Structure 1
């Protein structure tokens, strides 16, 4: 049963593209286990960070005797403590995410993307959580680094019925009250919401020193508008329908869509967040490989 469930959310191709590509924090993290990522806390372990003057009670074995011989003062070696991190996956399951068919449906793609990234995080012994929302927070799978966490996430996603509108600002504010500080928050949505409200909650998360990644999940139709002839447009989060000649709408639609995505990217840039636009017609494995390669380049540049 569990394996059948996982097969719906994990593809061998995507996992192969993730092999040997660790998800490393771009900023310092705070965790509660010894792990593989630098922490802003100072300790006596792992990587040398600097010196401080000796204080009574310090362990003499950490005294740097070479410094003592040159400066005639006692200094203690300090090291950067390495730690695990918590990655929070936050998934918009509102009705607009139902657009598309099969694997290219936005919600389907975003769900599989979240589970795949969660699998990678747990595979490196870090913790992952899952939160789903539409007009309110619908579910929460608390952080764990056990591989059984991926089954719990998949089971929760399998029960989701997206029928409501989005109240992203309120839901993300509620989510932020549950988190600590200096964690990773990955949000998966089309972000068809009020961008001022979104920026407000992102600023709160950044104040909490979270690393925030915005995955804008879009169907290829929404990006390219390659529709022909008379088309009936059905509102997914409203009762409004529109019957129109697609060629009459294409130019103005694409202008509006580019403007919206640019504004969303600017929100991310102003708040030092990652912005990743995802076309659901693309191979998830290739998309993840490109994304993690970019993160690796950013890490090397810091």
Structure 2
């Protein structure tokens, strides 16, 4: 792979700023590798815990072939024990994520956040998977705690384009079927869409005790509406255009954005999720240093 592709998505300044900080799971962790986190299980052997139906993206090596030959369906063996966790990174690649230029484009900003965070998670010995979605799941890289995972993520992103609308409810509902034990799900999106159906999907994930983090990626223009002069507003996910003077609509726009952001934050609070507001104008390392610091303090109180 061209080294320029990796450097496009791996933010070394982000990694430097996060040095010494780690993503810590909330509560007890079940896994199948030795790691740095407390486990609900005891003993020294990986224990079989049951089956679940195979879904695309699962590692075929965990298929129980004896069950397949008796039932003619694929089932995955599930184990639980030791002390690693799995963090699933989900990136919204819909058209609205294409807003912005160069490093401030939402999709590129979110991609760098995801890849750099994945690097930190792998370096601490835990597993990370990566999924891209819009109206449906477009790509999935199964969980791994090996550094080549970062290369696979970068390659996938370099081959990905934002060219559709968003259906968060459908994608999160589908993805929730792939998770069994308690894991972390981090969703990188602007979350523009129906928040009621989004909350239903989050509740489904939280019902199974998974840890959910909503990383709301938003452009400075969208957050603060700092535009001047007659402007043509072009819909990215709808076929519509409007020409307006920003000063005439700034007050109403800012009130609408404030309501939307407050509602998303309320959804996170009601469902015991984390909400991270990541403005593309801000330093990504500083955003996540503060978040991981707060998360660590909260974990100590649990």
Q: State the TM bucket, normalised to the shorter chain.
A: 0.7 to 0.9
The equivalent of 1:294 in structure 2 is 294
Task: Answer whether contact 1:2 1:151 (CA < 8 A) is retained.
Answer: no
Structure 2 Cα separation of the partners of residues 7 and 205 of structure 1: 33
Corresponding position of 2:54: none
Q: Report SS of the residue matched to 1:135.
A: coil
- The CA deviation at 1:2 is 4.7
For the aligned residues, what is the CA RMSD?
1.4
The reply to whether residue 168 of structure 1 matches residue 172 of structure 2 is no
Describe the SS at the equivalent of 2:143. Answer: strand
> TM-score scaled to structure 1, two decimals?
0.86
**3-state DSSP class of the match of 1:276?**
strand
Q: Would you tell me which structure has more strand in proportion to its own residues?
A: 1
State the 1:44 CA deviation. 7.2
- 2:178 aligns with 178
1:26–1:211: 8 Å Cα contact kept in structure 2?
A: yes
| Aligned counterpart, 1:187 | 187
Structure 1 residues 46-65: Cα deviation after superposition (integer angstroms, max 9, x where no partner): xxxxxxxxxxxxxxxxxxxx
Looking at structure 1, the residues matched to 133 and 163 of structure 2 have their Cα atoms a distance apart, in angstroms, of: 11
How many residue pairs match? The answer is 267
Distance in 2, Cα, partners of 1:291 & 1:25: 13
Structure 1 residues 258-273: aligned runs within 5 Å: 258-273=258-273
Gap runs ≥5 in structure 2: 46-80
Q: Which residue of 2 aligns with 1:230?
A: 230
Q: Tell me the distance in 1 between the aligned counterparts of 2:280 and 2:26.
A: 26
Mapped partners of 1:27, 1:134: distance in 2: 31
CA distance in 2 between counterparts of 1:202 and 1:192 reads 15
Counterpart Cα distance in 2 of 1:293 and 1:264: 22
- Aligned residue in 2 for 1:16: 16
Verify the 8 A CA contact 1:27 1:211 in the aligned structure 2: no
Counterpart for residue 124 of structure 1 = 124
Q: Is the 8 A contact 2:278 2:284 kept in 1?
A: no
Equivalence for 1:7: 7
> How far apart are the structure 2 equivalents of 1:27 and 1:257?
34
Cα deviation digits, residues 182-202 of structure 1 (max 9, x gap): 000000000001111111111
Question: 1:26 Cα shift?
Answer: 1.8
Q: Once the two structures are superposed, what CA deviation does each residue of 1:35-77 show, in whole Å capped at 9, x if it has no partner?
A: 11112224479xxxxxxxxxxxxxxxxxxxxxxxxxxxxxxxx
CA distance in 1, matches of 2:193, 2:42: 41
CA contact (8 A) 1:36 1:82 kept: no
Q: Distance in 2 between the 1:29 and 1:194 partners? A: 32
Counterpart residue number, 1:143: 143
The 8 Å contact of residues 188 and 214 in structure 1, kept in 2 or not, is answered as yes
Aligned to 1:213: 213
Q: Distance in 2 between matches of 1:82 and 1:24?
A: 15
1:249 aligns with 2:219: no
Q: Normalization by structure 2: what TM-score?
A: 0.86
